[in-house]
Amino acid sequence: MNTDNMSFAGEEFYRLESVKKQFSSVFGNTADLAVVSVDVGHYKGLLCYLTTMTNTDFIIEHVLKELTLSEHKEPVSMDETFHLLETVHYAALKHETLVDLDKVMDKIVLGNAAIFIDGFPKVLVLEVRTLNSRSIDEPTTQNVVRGPKEGFTESADTNMSLIRRRFNNVKLRFEKFELGYMTHTAVYMTYLDGEVEDHILKQVREKLNGSQIDSLFDSARIEEMLHSKGKGIQLFPTVYSGERPDAICSCLIDKRIAIIVDGSPFVLVVPALFTDFFKSPEDEYQWVVIGTFSRVLRYFAFILSLIVPALYIAVTSYHQELVPTILLTSIAAQREGIPFPASIEILLMEITFEILREAGTRMPRLVGPTISIVGALVLGEAAVQAGVVSNINVIVVSLTAISGFVAPIYTFGSKVRFFRFGMIILASIIGLYGLVLGCAFLMVQITRIESFGVPYLSLFSRWDKRRVT
């Protein structure tokens, strides 16, 4: 490959000057490349690494100190020096011996240091990757009152360690993949060997290996890819994502596969069923009755957030006979003098709420109080007093809003919010009939979904012998 290096008995000896030249031609003038001339025992050597993937203390402490072989006073041969480094001095570090310079460079990009010895054909590659990462914090999207407070971080190593320390089991596997032909992001498929169905493992492997993406910065990107394709649009998420190691571990116990993406604190789990999106790990840490109660409450809230505004519109503008008289007079009294029809009124407030939510999530933390003050004005008493919307409307929209956030998994809640608009439009066109049609459509869609061969509604559906898992 390299004409500058002397060939001897089929192997290439590295000449330090040419190695340096090679590096500068490949890496260019990148500022974080360190190519340092060092003494390796009694020979001249070269230490190459990326300063951004390690820190100087680590290099001084663990690499440079050992490099001089200070305890060996009398000179040893080149072979022996290399052997000593490999087996004695760097035995504790993860290391390997390479010959091919291209591979060495790839390794350096991933956070390794390469040690060349002048006139020696082998290169010692040491893993010196020490990255600063966020410390383990409480998860921000899945909170519990009772239960472990640790959450995943952006570092896949930390995340794997969080799982491993809960699973002292030899069967736990972390299978490594590299995704993204530009970024080479590490992706780990985690499962309990022997527990998981082979065909599911095979499918996940195929999907990960067959990916054509250029970059991968968050696990949401492959969530799309993991959806089973070919059956229309996926209206409901079929991939569970969690920020809590305990939740992910309990999924592993349930014979699922977790997928850890380096750089994302959200770990994915497949296959995921409809019921999973209503589970919170806390359910299992409480008295079973309380846990079941809150789970049932979540299903109820899901239905509420889906149909309440639509039901309100259908009932007040098409089916007044369904409302108790006293309630209807009360609603009618509030609707007096409101300039808009009920459907426009609801849509207006729902969109206001969505804007408020979007602003609340994206705004800089410093302007937070501003949003809550202004938000309370447009979505509250002030709007009612201005005669733009009615009280009952505010109640309906607020009830829907809080019910929408009860779902423990955010992605699920956001999909439901989207369907709600569809329901509102259907109900304002053809009343209850439209609402029922919409629900039927969702029901049909939801029963068609399969997640890696497992029916999405498994726990509710009829027991099917052909699908025994």
DSSP 267: E
Identify the burial level of 195 via C-beta atoms within 10 angstroms of its C-beta, where 0-12 means exposed, 13-18 middle and 19 or more buried.
middle
Q: Which is nearer to other proteins, 174 or 433 (CB)?
A: 433
> Quick check: 49 binds other proteins (CB under 8 A)?
no
Out of 183, 334, 352, 447, the only residue in the binding site for other proteins (CB under 8 A) is 334
Q: Which of these ranges, 216-224, 246-254, 284-292, 429-437, lies near other proteins under the rule CB under 8 A?
A: 429-437
DSSP 4: S
Out of 318, 353, 412, 452, the only residue in the binding site for other proteins (CB under 8 A) is 318
CA distance 441 to 437: 6
> Quick check: 331 binds other proteins (CB under 8 A)?
yes
> Quick check: 329 binds other proteins (CB under 8 A)?
yes
Q: Which is nearer to other proteins, 96 or 224 (CB)?
A: 224
Q: Check: CB of residue 211 under 8 Å from CB of residue 261.
A: no
DSSP 97: E
Q: Which amino acid is at 178?
A: E
Q: Check: CB of residue 73 under 8 Å from CB of residue 89.
A: no
Q: DSSP strand E in 43-192: where?
A: 43-50, 95-98, 112-117, 123-127, 172-179, 185-192
Out of 428, 449, 451, 457, the only residue in the binding site for other proteins (CB under 8 A) is 428
> Quick check: 444 binds other proteins (CB under 8 A)?
no
Q: Which of these ranges, 41-49, 64-72, 142-150, 330-338, lies near other proteins under the rule CB under 8 A?
A: 330-338
Out of 68, 218, 431, 441, the only residue in the binding site for other proteins (CB under 8 A) is 431
Out of 316, 400, 403, 451, the only residue in the binding site for other proteins (CB under 8 A) is 316
CB of 453 to other proteins, least distance (A): 22
Q: Which is nearer to other proteins, 93 or 328 (CB)?
A: 328
Residues 350-389 that bind other proteins (CB under 8 A): none
Q: Check: CB of residue 280 under 8 Å from CB of residue 297.
A: no
Out of 16, 105, 338, 436, the only residue in the binding site for other proteins (CB under 8 A) is 338
User: Total residues at the site for other proteins (CB under 8 A)?
Assistant: 30
Structure token pair of residue 467:
């699908």
Q: Which is nearer to other proteins, 210 or 232 (CB)?
A: 232
DSSP 62: I
Q: Token pair 């082979």 is at which residue?
A: 198
Secondary structure (3-state) at 406: coil
DSSP secondary structure string for all residues of 281-350: GGGGGS-HHHHHHHHHHHHHHHHHHHHHHHHHHHHHHT-GGGS-HHHHHHHHHHHTT-SS-HHHHHHHHH
Residues 207-246 that bind other proteins (CB under 8 A): 232-233
CB of 407 to other proteins, least distance (A): 24
Comparing CA positions, the residue from 277, 307, 272, 301 lying closest to residue 440 is 307
Q: Which of these ranges, 10-18, 65-73, 271-279, 422-430, lies near other proteins under the rule CB under 8 A?
A: 422-430
Q: Which is nearer to other proteins, 3 or 325 (CB)?
A: 325
> Quick check: 420 binds other proteins (CB under 8 A)?
no
Q: Check: CB of residue 129 under 8 Å from CB of residue 234.
A: no
Q: Which of these ranges, 34-42, 323-331, 396-404, 440-448, lies near other proteins under the rule CB under 8 A?
A: 323-331
Binding site for other proteins (CB under 8 A): 232-233, 316-318, 320-321, 325-326, 328-338, 341-343, 391, 422, 425, 428-431
